[in-house]
Structure 1
Amino acid sequence: MPIRARTLCNDMLNFARNQFTNILLLALLTALISIVLSHVLSPGSEQLITLSDGRHIDDTANMSFQQRIQHMSMEQQRILLKASAANSLAGLIGDVLLVGGLLTMIRQVSNRHSISVLRAICLSAPLFPRLLLLIFFTTLLVQLGLLLIVIPGIMLAIAFSLSPIIVTNDNLSAIKSMRLSASLALANLRLLAPAVLVWLLAKSAILLLATRFALVSPFVTAILLNGLSNLITILLLIYLYRLYMFLRQA
């Protein structure tokens, strides 16, 4: 019996509806952890003020991003690099907690075991090293593909989309999971490509929203927008998990 995208979407929505509270808590909790870590690891406020000096902004207002970096002093470039690294590391840790916690929750619920968000994250702890390597490699490759030429980045995102499910369910290494995911993705492109494309578009829309959306507290705004981004990722992971279960049975 062929696998239908409608069946996968219905299964995804049913699971999301039944576990809505836990899913929402997981999305917001991992968003909070990412924002707090980013704040803790980022340069201090005095250094950031140096980076955003008003005269420097006026002088480089009509320049590209690369030209602005070239016109920065060594100290300003160091601060920018530290802030970027802090945001990347915080996002990576948040993604690992999100993916590990969610996939553990799905397995437990599928086995008819009730589980809380914190317990799901704790049970997924042994998976963190492999997930950390996997998400780091896949994110790096996809981002490089999107920066150089957009199409390769999209294709890599589709090719590696099943790798988090494979690494958690089949106890494989990050590289083997990426290879198996790529082979399965090529064979099931019609089921994977639309879901990953919608996910990429939704994440891009949130990035655009972040530049225009403002609340009283920037901290609250960051948590809400990151939480929304996490919810979209959760829906995609549920879809991919269900698809992988069908592929294993086939």
Structure 2
Amino acid sequence: MLITASALYRDTGNFLRHQLVNIVLIVFFTSCVMAVISKVFMPSIEEVQLLGEEALSGATRGVIEIVQNMSPDQQKVLLQLSAAGTLSSLIGHALLLGGMLSLISIASSGKPVTALHALGSSCPNLLRLLSLTFLMMLSIQIGFMSLVVPGVLLSITLALAPMIITTERVGLVSAIYTSGQLGWSHIRLIAPVVSFWILAKLLVLLIASKLVILPPDLAIVFLDILSNFFSSILIIYLSRLYMLLKS
């Protein structure tokens, strides 16, 4: 069967329209969880301001030089800030993946489903999704840090791994390997939507610079909601693609 991008876009739009309330609730829940984790592990405002002053004063220097010239307390704050952001993003993305994949699976079978039901049904897969999300985030970040192109290619080739690991009940290595094969052979279908997702993430970063008028906690939740909503659209598209590839 010939799979076209226009058919996938249409299926994604239909699912988004029919399950919009459940999708918004899942996105809102995962965004709140991310905000709570960030709040718990984030350093105090005074420490962040101290770190910001050091980064601002060294704006013309390299990142490594700035870190080397920081005091031990400032380096500790930077490490805590990085760890809080990474942990928040890791857990949030695993919850979003689990909830969305369960929602798609149950809704596609014709059964009635709610956001709470989808999130509850995803619990058995959360640990595996958490491990997979960590490996994907690590490899993609390394790819973007070395050169942009490897990061983009890894984002494309690893895109189907969450659907494979939850549907086929295979291990991490097998899911990543299978995703790499499918992703590369169907790159024309995956590359445009992944590129859109990357551009959407950049748009969120651009919006973040304009939200200085909002309280920090409210701004963080709003940005997480926006980012997770874009990610949910990508998950729907990729899930539908994998369903068609299986059939």
TM-score bucket of the superposed structures, by smaller chain: over 0.9
CA drift at 1:70? 1.5
Deviates more, 1:129-138 or 1:118-127: 118-127
Which of 110, 113, 116 is the aligned partner of 1:115? Answer: 113
From the superposition, tell whether residues 57 and 88 of structure 1 become closer, same or farther in structure 2 (CA, over 3 Å): closer
Q: What corresponds to 1:23 in structure 2?
A: 23
| Structure 1 counterpart SS, 2:43 | coil
CA drift at 1:39? 0.8
Measure, in 2, the Cα distance between the counterparts of 1:3 and 1:119.
Answer: 31
Q: What corresponds to 2:13 in structure 1?
A: 13
Measure, in 1, the Cα distance between the counterparts of 2:69 and 2:17.
Answer: 51
The 5-angstrom pairing of residues 39-188 of structure 1 reads 39-52=39-52, 54=53, 56=54, 59-188=57-186
Measure, in 2, the Cα distance between the counterparts of 1:94 and 1:58.
Answer: 30
From the superposition, tell whether residues 214 and 25 of structure 1 become closer, same or farther in structure 2 (CA, over 3 Å): farther
Percent identity between matched residues is: 36
Measure, in 1, the Cα distance between the counterparts of 2:56 and 2:189.
Answer: 49
From the superposition, tell whether residues 57 and 134 of structure 1 become closer, same or farther in structure 2 (CA, over 3 Å): closer
Q: Which amino acid aligns with 1:15?
A: F
Q: What corresponds to 2:215 in structure 1?
A: 217
From the superposition, tell whether residues 112 and 6 of structure 1 become closer, same or farther in structure 2 (CA, over 3 Å): same
Q: Which amino acid aligns with 1:19?
A: Q
| Structure 1 counterpart SS, 2:214 | coil
1:22–1:116 contact (8 Å) kept in structure 2: yes
Q: What corresponds to 2:38 in structure 1?
A: 38
Measure, in 1, the Cα distance between the counterparts of 2:85 and 2:56.
Answer: 26
Measure, in 2, the Cα distance between the counterparts of 1:45 and 1:119.
Answer: 37
Measure, in 1, the Cα distance between the counterparts of 2:98 and 2:178.
Answer: 19
Q: What corresponds to 1:227 in structure 2?
A: 225
| Structure 1 counterpart SS, 2:155 | helix
Measure, in 2, the Cα distance between the counterparts of 1:229 and 1:174.
Answer: 25
Structure 1 segments unaligned to the other structure (5+ residues): none
Number of residue equivalences? 247
Q: Which amino acid aligns with 1:156?
A: L
Which of 231, 243, 246 is the aligned partner of 2:244? Answer: 246
Measure, in 1, the Cα distance between the counterparts of 2:194 and 2:57.
Answer: 40
Which of 190, 200, 203 is the aligned partner of 1:202? Answer: 200
Query: Can you list the C-alpha shifts for 1:216-240, whole angstroms capped at 9, x where unaligned?
Result: 3221111111111111111111010
CA drift at 1:44? 3.2
CA drift at 1:49? 4.4
Measure, in 2, the Cα distance between the counterparts of 1:106 and 1:15.
Answer: 8
Structure 2 segments unaligned to the other structure (5+ residues): none
